[in-house]
Amino acid sequence: MDELKRVLLEAAKAGGAIIKEYFQGSFKVDNKTSINDLVTDVDKHSEKVIIDTIKNTYPEHSIISEEVGELIQDSDYNWIIDPIDGTVNFAHGIPICCVSIGLKYKEDLLLGAVYNPIMNELFFAEKGKGATLNGEKITVSEKSEFKKACLVTGFPYKWPKTYEHPIKVFERFIMEGLPVRRLGSAAIDLCWVACGRFDGFWEYNLNPWDVAAGYLIVQEAGGIITNFDGEPYDVDDKETLATNGVIHNDMLKLIRSNI
């Protein structure tokens, strides 16, 4: 496990160094599925450095990464990578962006790292051993009064008609008088729940690379993460609710109040 941890942190820091080097600099920006679903050449550069770092030690491991897709091999180990979570923020010079890397062994998430090099914040978790920020132990908040909770969410670029529109759900939280923020990086949202800055986070239509590392970090910091039915979470789920645990049922009730 020590060698896996070393490679994970080395890869996260290598990708973060690329982000920091080009932040507020010159780079090429393209569109993916929509006009505001962006990818930059820095995403691709960061991704290559991360994958090369992993493959140098573990060439036989599988990889799922946002830009290159699936590099599947006959291995029980699977690295789940977002080379820049918060690309729109990065492209606009907003310092809320990060590298996110999770490592699964079979169906278990073993390790997770989320690194924001602009703010110099490295979140890390190892299954069963807690979560840290820059090496210091972190825990979720103890906020128990839902009316005083501070929440964070995000919105997808395209919304499938099979779900209730996220603005309607967002409105229910606002009508309760709750402060809700939108940072533009699900990985950072999850980490900020894990360290107690936020008390809860919900979002629809996230991908495994958005949540794999943050999911483990929330759990290891003492939080709860489920889908919107309150069932145990899986990184392939399209509904994500992460909280300090105390306000989890309150958030579920609001999210599901129209069902």
Catalytic residues: 66, 82, 84-85, 87, 210
CA 107/CA 92 separation, integer angstroms: 36
Q: What angle do CA 109, 56, 137 make, to 5 degrees?
A: 40
Nearest to 167 by CA among 155, 176, 158, 150: 155
Long-range contacts of 50-57 (CB under 8 A, 24+ apart): 50/11, 50/12, 50/14, 50/15, 50/81, 50/83, 50/99, 50/101, 51/81, 53/7, 53/10, 53/11, 53/14, 54/7, 54/11, 54/79, 57/3, 57/7
